Amino acid sequence: MMILSVRDLRVRAGEHLILDGVTLDVDAGAVCAIMGPNGSGKSTLTGVLAGRPGLEVISGTATYLGRDLLAMPAEERARQGLFLAFQYPVEIPGVNNVYLLKASLNALRKHRGEPELDAFEFLNLVRAKIRQMQMDESLLNRGVNEGFSGGEKKRNEILQMSLLEPTLALLDETDSGLDIDALKVVADGVNALRSPNRAIVMVTHYQRLLDYVVPDQVHVLAGGRIVRSGGRELALELERRGYDWLRFGPTAA
């Protein structure tokens, strides 16, 4: 089953053309990595799929579970099971982390026609998840990401993801700024979500994360296009040779 199908997507941010014809298919069960140099459009791709404001789609389509993704408002995409783990999770002082988790989970459950969890069920669930992410329980009662370290913010994203159990998870540079222990915890969290009904798209600059979350496919984004696709070995080759050789090399693997 196809979860996401992007066709010739061209996207502008202000004056700048960032995505210049991206085509990408993601099947159910797949874990796919999108790699690329800085400025290649990786975050714009996840952003436009999640509905980030300030990005203008010039042409192309994105189909999610057979529906026009780009026509849905951001909250609708989230309720339909699309999850974006932010590269820079925003701090929201005054909005309690655990209440956001609960409101978010219940918004999704309501959308799926499931009953909302009561406070007891919810807390049991969230406590189990927070142990899995090896996070301090006190972070639950802080403002969303408020005063969290870089690593705590990233773990909090994965905590949310594992709670919301998305159909399509987009991980935007989730590995950046993580030490090796945190990287393993985050990778375990992602691996735990691997499932035949779900797809995971990881955007990353380095191949380091891919040692722990082994992708089925690797795509290289450069200059706003997918310039190369392959298996895991492509990531290793990129690690060895850098990105420069692709700019001058053939555009097909």
Partner 1 sequence: MSAETVMQRIAASHAGQTAQLAGGAAWARRRELALARVLGHGLPDRRNENWKYLDHAKIAERAFDPAPRVTLTADRLAPCLLPLAAAPRLVLVDGHFEPLLSDADAGAGVAVQDLATLLSTDPACAMRLLREPGDDADDRYALLADAFAAGGVVIRVDASAAPPEPLYMLHVSSGSLPGTSHARVVIEVGAGAKLRLVEHFVALGDAPAFSNLAAEMQIAAGATVEHIRLHQAGTQSAQLETWFVEQQADSSYSQHFFALGGRLLRSNLNLSLAGSRAQCRLAGLFMVDGERQADLYTQIAHHGAATRTSQNFRGIASERGRGAFNGRIIVHPAARGADASQSSRNLLLTPLAEINARPQLEIHTDDVKCRHGATIGTLDPAQLFYLLARGLDPAVAQSLLTFAFCEDVITGVPLPELRRTIEELVVGRLPDRDVIRSFR
Binding site for partner 1 (CB under 8 A): 50-54, 73-75, 77-79, 83-84, 86, 89-90, 92-96, 99-100, 103-104, 107-108, 111, 143-144, 160, 164
Pairing of strands 56-64, 2-13: antiparallel
The b-or-e profile of 231-251 (16+ CB within 10 A means b, else e) is ebebbebbeeeebeebeeeee
**CB-wise, 160 or 162, nearer to partner 1?**
160
Residue 220, classed as helix, strand or coil, is strand
Measured between alpha carbons, how far is 104 from 79 in angstroms, rounded to an integer? 9
Question: Closest separation between CB of residue 75 and partner 1, Å?
Answer: 4
Which residue, 252, 249, 250, 201, is CA-closest to 35? 201
Question: Closest separation between CB of residue 170 and partner 1, Å?
Answer: 10
Question: Closest separation between CB of residue 89 and partner 1, Å?
Answer: 7
**CB-wise, 168 or 235, nearer to partner 1?**
168
Question: Closest separation between CB of residue 94 and partner 1, Å?
Answer: 3
**CB-wise, 92 or 192, nearer to partner 1?**
92
**CB-wise, 75 or 136, nearer to partner 1?**
75
Which residue, 165, 217, 207, 208, is CA-closest to 190? 165
